[in-house]
Structure 1
Amino acid sequence: MSGFQTNNKVISWLDERLPIFSMMQHSAIEYPTPRNLNYWWNFGSLAAFVLVVMLLTGIFLVMNYSSHTSLAFDSVERIMRDVNYGWLIRYLHMNGASMFFILVYIHMFRNLYYGSYKAPREVLWWVGIIIYLAMMATGFLGYVLPWGQMSFWGATVITNLFSAFPVVGQSIVTLLWGGFSVDNPTLNRFFSLHYLLPFVIVGLVVVHVWALHTVRSNNPLGVEMKGEADSIPFHPYYTIKDLFGIGLFLMFFLAFVFWAPNFFGEPDNYIPANPMVTPPHIVPEWYYLPFYAILRSFTMDLWIIPAKLQGVVAMFAAILILFFLPWLDTSKVRSAKFRPIYRQFFWLFLVDCLVLGYVGGKPAEEPLVTIGQLGTAYYFAHFLIIMPLLGKLEKPKPLPASISAAVLKEKA
């Protein structure tokens, strides 16, 4: 660790006993970073920024929220109408969830494109997937808290999925509900976990950054740094780049907050929860729609395996398969910049995910059911068939000798 030097005797005295400033100097200022990172590398820091926004707005919302089925909906309305700037805090939090997922999805697809999951970054990738799973759980739990129609029925449908598992399924559902139906114990459980999980995510982000600083950042070329010529200090070069990215992102984020705050929401959630009236079309939040389409694509029982169980297993497998990606991709070259065939399949996979998202948001009717089934088949084929075969059969373009050699060649 680099020595931290200052003329301030108080800071120097403190740093000798608790080296906070030395750690910051090493991790946030002098930290050697590849000199060729582009703006696709901004989305990790942007996601961290939104996480802070979500934490702060969530803490303020909790001060005025009542986690009781007879009070929850009205307490949210009170926040919107009577609490000073309550509407702003709630819209920041509500739209912040969508922004968080947009940034993380871009971050994940960037990793897929540039091969940032490959050795020695497997654990870094795993921690990122665990963060994503925690985000999905937190987002679902938070969606239930306003206790509108879509909140109630979304909770009912999603928790009922666990009943598909033999033997233990119904016990899991009863545990989640806190009884034999979605009611006040369910809301209290979800509220407690929704408040807890963001702090778990913060801890996971710290581990994620720790792992990143251990193995260093990947870069668009996918070649490792080979000396000082390949790197530059994180500050001021990338702090300025990140601040610029935050400025642009805030314009995008606040445009939704002020001019289209309900763009990502469902109108039915402004109706108080009513167990006696089922909405005509129950859909989860947009960031779950591709997995919802995978769930619904299984429509026929297979021997003794019900279609519902097949769908639930496939939905979870669609996420868990990402843990095995470092080994499913058998190519020794990281970046798609040097893999022309893989690059085409990458864009096809991205289109497939968008199609699944569209299908998941529509009623389960033809031809969308068939399209969803084809999309699901391709989703798993991309990881289990295409990526392993491409790694063996594709002939990549030659890699540059180093980052600095490629950068100087581009400038020339």
Structure 2
Amino acid sequence: MLTGIWLTMSYEPSAEGAFASVEYIMRDVEYGWLLLYMHSTGASAFFVVVYLHMFRAMLYGSYRKPRELVWLIGMAIYLALMAEGFMGYVLPWGQMSYWGAQVIVSLFGAIPVVGDALVEWIRGDFLISGITLNRFFSLHVIALPLVLVMLVFLHIVALHEVGSNNPDGIEIKKNKDANGIPRDGIPFHPYYTVHDIFGVAVFLFVFCTVIFFFPEMGGYFLEHANFEEANGLKTPAHIAPVWYFTPFYAMLRAVTSPFLGLDAKFWGLVVMGGAIAILFVLPWLDRSKVKSIRYKGWISKVMLVIFVISFVALGYLGAIASTPGRTVAAQIFTLLYFVYFLGMPFYTRMEKTKPVPERVTS
């Protein structure tokens, strides 16, 4: 957010000047290159942390009762982050920014009856133009950050109300001493502060390494096509979103056949939206007697591994050009992604679980 404020001072949100202003920041603004790389790398690092945070919650059952609201607000934060990332992705006004926006926004045109009007409303024009860029700039810089700050505040308040989960999935508030303090609870300082300082130090080391040595990350953080100014008359050979959207983009491309009189684009949009929406109902899909993966049966462990492999594979497939073989692979991994969630009410209820200890283990 801080780097974004400084970048905004020199950025021009217009179709004529956006690309040139980014080049100006890189070449003529003092330490502009550092601010730009910190901002782009920070966006990717943010999503890495968010995905790891979500995976940890799925691993230890942090979405289960009584933390359903914490999970739902967290998912709202994830949605807002996706919107923030997409709006920011368009701002450099390079080839990939322009055509990526063209592809994603045009998807809404597949919605029956209201699709075309919705696309025009989002763009603010009959095509992706300076009006769209200015609109996305406003949302990226003002509206969505305010929404994120509000949601993060609510997330922390909700978490404070029910307390943090632990790898054992045990509610420590059920076991208190004579003073009403949980026996397995520890003070935030110095235990969590020292623990977090170490994690932050490792994160900053990796973060700085990427900034100074691999800011483009082979085209995954900064796409090579974006070093060329947007041209509506020249389509890139391969259009792909930034890496943190590629799993869902692969699901979109995996749908190739029309159904019930509606084209494949519409059903691809349904699948992509469903892949995100199903995460919201995760607390009610898991019917296991235990929360943590430590005490769940082997089926849950195998299914979680399959889910992770599917998500990573879809991320890779969404970042590369589509071929018939890769489309089939994306269809298989998309099916496995949904099997993990839709089968959860059954395999979590049927499997044999391990006994959960009454106290948190070491």
Q: TM-score range by the shorter chain?
A: over 0.9
1:142 corresponds in structure 2 to 88
1:204 corresponds in structure 2 to 151
Q: Is the 8 A contact 1:290 1:354 kept in 2?
A: yes
Equivalent residues, number:
350
Q: Which amino acid aligns with 1:130?
A: A
Question: Using the alignment, how far apart are the partners of 2:146 and 2:204 within structure 1?
Answer: 23
Matched, 1:381 2:339: yes
Matched, 1:338 2:295: yes
Question: Using the alignment, how far apart are the partners of 1:184 and 1:265 within structure 2?
Answer: 22
Question: Using the alignment, how far apart are the partners of 1:359 and 1:258 within structure 2?
Answer: 28
Q: 2:31 aligns with which of 68, 85, 94?
A: 85
Q: 2:328 aligns with which of 350, 354, 370?
A: 370
Q: Is the 8 A contact 2:87 2:139 kept in 1?
A: yes
After TM superposition, the structure 1 = structure 2 runs for residues 271-350 of structure 1, keeping only pairs within 5 Å, are 271-341=228-298, 342-350=300-308
3-state SS, counterpart of residue 186 of structure 2: strand
Query: Is there any run of 5+ residues in structure 1 with no aligned partner, and where?
Result: 1-54, 408-412
Q: CA deviation at 1:240?
A: 1.3
Identity %: 50
Matched, 1:262 2:212: no
Question: Using the alignment, how far apart are the partners of 1:250 and 1:199 within structure 2?
Answer: 25
Question: Using the alignment, how far apart are the partners of 2:107 and 2:272 within structure 1?
Answer: 10
3-state SS, counterpart of residue 336 of structure 1: coil
- Comparing 368-377 and 342-351, the one that deviates more: 342-351
Q: Which amino acid aligns with 1:378?
A: L
Q: Radius of gyration: which is bigger?
A: 1
Q: Is the 8 A contact 1:80 1:90 kept in 2?
A: yes
1:192 corresponds in structure 2 to 138
Q: Is the 8 A contact 1:79 1:87 kept in 2?
A: yes
Question: Using the alignment, how far apart are the partners of 1:303 and 1:141 within structure 2?
Answer: 33
Q: CA deviation at 1:375?
A: 0.7
2:188 corresponds in structure 1 to 234
Q: Which amino acid aligns with 1:239?
A: T
1:44 corresponds in structure 2 to none
Cα deviation 1:150-195 (Å, max 9, x = unaligned): 0110111110000000111111110111110111100000000011
Q: Is the 8 A contact 2:247 2:316 kept in 1?
A: yes
Q: CA deviation at 1:311?
A: 0.3
1:37 corresponds in structure 2 to none
Question: Using the alignment, how far apart are the partners of 2:3 and 2:222 within structure 1?
Answer: 18
Matched, 1:218 2:165: yes
Q: Is the 8 A contact 1:328 1:383 kept in 2?
A: yes
- Comparing 145-154 and 228-237, the one that deviates more: 228-237
1:51 corresponds in structure 2 to none
Query: Is there any run of 5+ residues in structure 2 with no aligned partner, and where?
Result: 177-181
- Comparing 123-132 and 336-345, the one that deviates more: 336-345
Q: Which amino acid aligns with 1:194?
A: H
Question: Using the alignment, how far apart are the partners of 1:205 and 1:239 within structure 2?
Answer: 20
Q: Which amino acid aligns with 2:308?
A: L
CA RMSD of aligned residues (A): 0.9
Cα deviation 1:232-287 (Å, max 9, x = unaligned): 11111101111111111000011110001111221110000111100000000000
Cα deviation 1:303-356 (Å, max 9, x = unaligned): 312111000011011001111111111112000001141122111110110111
3-state SS, counterpart of residue 231 of structure 1: coil
Q: Is the 8 A contact 1:113 1:343 kept in 2?
A: no
Question: Using the alignment, how far apart are the partners of 1:85 and 1:362 within structure 2?
Answer: 33
Question: Using the alignment, how far apart are the partners of 1:57 and 1:183 within structure 2?
Answer: 26
Q: 1:250 aligns with which of 204, 222, 238?
A: 204
Q: Is the 8 A contact 1:131 1:204 kept in 2?
A: yes
User: Normalising to structure 2: TM-score of the pair?
Assistant: 0.95
Q: CA deviation at 1:199?
A: 2.4
Question: Using the alignment, how far apart are the partners of 2:311 and 2:91 within structure 1?
Answer: 28
1:181 corresponds in structure 2 to 127
3-state SS, counterpart of residue 180 of structure 1: coil
Question: Using the alignment, how far apart are the partners of 1:157 and 1:256 within structure 2?
Answer: 29
Question: Using the alignment, how far apart are the partners of 1:327 and 1:303 within structure 2?
Answer: 30
2:179 corresponds in structure 1 to none
Q: Is the 8 A contact 1:148 1:271 kept in 2?
A: yes
2:354 corresponds in structure 1 to 397
Matched, 1:123 2:43: no
Question: Using the alignment, how far apart are the partners of 2:65 and 2:184 within structure 1?
Answer: 19
User: Normalising to structure 1: TM-score of the pair?
Assistant: 0.84
- Comparing 299-308 and 106-115, the one that deviates more: 299-308
Provide runs of 4+ in structure 1 moved above 4 Å.
none
Q: 1:352 aligns with which of 294, 300, 310?
A: 310
Question: Using the alignment, how far apart are the partners of 1:157 and 1:345 within structure 2?
Answer: 33
1:105 corresponds in structure 2 to 51
Cα deviation 1:19-51 (Å, max 9, x = unaligned): xxxxxxxxxxxxxxxxxxxxxxxxxxxxxxxxx
Q: CA deviation at 1:366?
A: 2.1
